[in-house]
Structure 1
Amino acid sequence: MPFTPQEIEAHLEKLEGWELEEGRWIVRKYMFSNYMKGIAFVDEVAAISEAFNHHPFITIDHKTVTLRLTSWEEGGITAVDIKEAQQYNEAFEKARSVG
């Protein structure tokens, strides 16, 4: 069941960097110091996505990786999107701490 707009905003307040876009996506841009670090992050995103069997739209623009999530079959943002976004953030923090 999709979250209400109020529920989405409450979740996004606790989810660093993510924003609601067009009322149906949650979106975050991740910035990297070089292209290959962004590509390595996308590999992590792919592994997390496979574990959830829920896949984001991914855009790679040189050193910026943009992720967009929604639950098409549910018609909006669900708990799966929020949990997955949190794991992407954790993977990003881990990648940043490695150097």
Structure 2
Amino acid sequence: MPFTPQEVEVHLEQLEGWEMEEERWIIRKFTFSSFMKGIAFVDEVAAISEAFNHHPFITIDHRTVTLRLTSWEVGGITGIDIKEAAQYNEAFDKARG
């Protein structure tokens, strides 16, 4: 069962940089000092996603990587989206050094 928009907002208060979009996605843009650092981050995102067996939409725009998460099978945001977003944030923090 997906979270209500209010529940999503409560969870997002604990996730730096993430926002709700259209009440069915959570989204964050990550900016890097170079294209290749962004690509390395995407490799890390791929490994995390495989471990969860839950995959984000990924857009790469030069030095900006945008991740969008939702749980298609239930039509909204669930705990797995929130947990995965937290791990992406940890990967980003490590990438920034």
TM over 0.5, yes or no?
Answer: yes
Give me the whole-angstrom Cα distance separating, in 1, the residues matched to 2:20 and 2:6.
11
Higher helix proportion (structure 1 or 2) = 1
SS of the residue aligned with 2:60? strand
| Normalised TM-score (structure 2) | 0.99
Structure 1 residue 21 corresponds to structure 2 residue 21: yes
Displacement after TM superposition at 1:74 (Å): 1.1
Partner of 2:36: 36
Gaps spanning 5+ residues in structure 1: where?
Answer: none
Runs of 4+ in 1 over 6 A off after TM superposition: none
- The residue type paired with residue 76 of structure 1 is G
Could you list the runs of 5+ residues in structure 2 that have no partner in the other structure?
Answer: none
1:47 matched residue in structure 2: 47
For 2:23 and 2:3, locate their aligned partners in 1 and report how far apart those are by CA, in whole Å.
11
Matched, 1:72 2:72: yes
Q: Distance in 2 between matches of 1:18 and 1:32?
A: 16
TM-score by length of 1: 0.97
Corresponding pairs, count: 97
Between the aligned partners of 1:5 and 1:59, the Cα distance in structure 2 is 24
Among the aligned pairs, what percent are the same residue? Answer: 82
Q: How far, CA to CA, are the matches of 1:74 and 1:59 in structure 2?
A: 23
